[in-house]
Amino acid sequence: MAGASIKEMDPEHGVAYVREAPIEALPPPASERGALGWLRANFFATPLDAALSVVLLLLLAWIVPPLLDFLLFNAVWTGKDREACLVGPDRPEVGACWAFVRDRFAYFIYGSYPVAERWRVDIFFAMLAIGIVWLLKLNAPRRDLGAFYFFVIVPIVSYILLNGSEMLGLRRVDTAVWGGMLVTIVVAWVGIVVSLPAGILLALGRRSRMPAVKLFSVIFIEFVRGVPLITVLFMASVMLPLFVPEQWSPDKLLRALVGIALFASAYMAEVVRAGLQAIPKGQYEGAMAVGLSYSQMMRLIILPQALRVTIPNIVNSYIALFKDTTLVFIVGIFDFLKAIEAARIDPIWSTPVTSTTGYAFAAIVYFILCYLMSAYAKNMEARLAVADKR
């Protein structure tokens, strides 16, 4: 403000300072603009930054080319059996054996579900996809109907569809032959569908003024959270049959589903509780003062706000749950990972690269599904940030 001080000193004017013309906005200096400015700001801002950038670049140069070689350039795309993926005179180096994945793809998706009945699984996937899109698209019409469809209709219809029903002329398919992505999706979806309502009830129970309800919620949440999922699954599949008579003993998959649902509910309860705690006391008072009952207050005022702020955390627990479903193979259930596991030791496709290919495929599939969920959560967070500025 050199100009200002000069004028300030000027004895003739006698005023402190008056601006006579506004200052026009100027573009930033050249070093701040363009690709060069961007590089400088993001990669070479300080000597430490520059060093880190160089190290990372070297690391990428070391990892990426061989990875691409394996996954793409040296990969085998077609073939009928292991011969296609063996090192031979015309093929000095063999990358991923995608021929194996293509050959076994149906098995990865359906497990041993009878081939003639697989259309039922396809319908199940389609129904689920419709429900997910309906619920997740914020401007979709009648999302309340969508919730009813997703949480009530789809479970009932898909139970009948997948399990079979003599009455409707659908052949019974024992859960023992279910497998692959079908089982992974069923387990994850049951966990997701059960854990949100159950978690909300447990969270409300934990904040309840009724001592019995509160005690039950706290004991349940803390007990389940204090035990590893594997233990819960073992409990569900080994201990449960001890308590109920043999002919009543539920199906193996069902037992695992119960275990996963209990586990996910306890975690969801804590996520929802965090959301409830973020709601200021004034909201409760405002709701009570206009005469709303407890359930109306929760349903209309508190939960809508609490769940909105927790959506990213809810999706986060869904991602964790989705990956945790792989643990069901420990109690002998054929999920997606287990299907790959079984296929890779099949002698027909036994080559040095089969296992690596199978695991790479599993990693890619899990990554894509989890990334979709986290991308949605991120998008949701951005929308909420905009909504909060209103």
- Interface with another protein (CB under 8 A), residue from 65, 66, 197, 304: 304
The 10 Å Cβ neighbour count of residue 309 is 16
Within 10 angstroms of residue 109's Cβ, the number of other Cβ atoms is 20
Minimum CB separation from another protein for residue 340, in Å?
45
Binding mask 263-302 for another protein (x = CB under 8 A): -------------------xx-xxxxxxxxx--x---xx-
Contact 361, 340 (CB under 8 A): yes
Cβ–Cβ under 8 Å, residues 265 and 318: no
Task: Sketch the per residue contact string, 305 through 344, with another protein: x for CB under 8 A, - otherwise.
Answer: x--x------------------------------------
Is 214 one of the binding residues for another protein (CB under 8 A)?
no
Nearest-approach distance from CB 297 to another protein, in angstroms: 10
Tokens representing 189 are 């979806």
Taking the alpha carbons at both ends of the chain, their separation in whole angstroms is: 37
Q: In angstroms, what is the minimal distance from the CB of 355 to another protein?
A: 51
Q: Residue 308 or 323: which CB sits closer to another protein?
A: 308
Contact residue for another protein among 19, 172, 209, 390 (CB under 8 A): 390
Rounded CA-CA distance 273/68 in Å is 45
**CB 279, min distance to another protein, A:** 10
Using DSSP's 3-state secondary structure scheme, residue 291 falls into coil
Q: Would you give the DSSP letter of residue 171?
A: P
Helix axes 211-225, 252-277, angle to 10 degrees: 120
Q: Closest distance between another protein and the C-beta of residue 274, in Å?
A: 18
- What is the rounded distance in angstroms from the CA atom of residue 46 to the CA atom of residue 53? 11
Binding site for another protein (CB under 8 A): 282-283, 285-293, 296, 300-301, 304-305, 308, 388-390
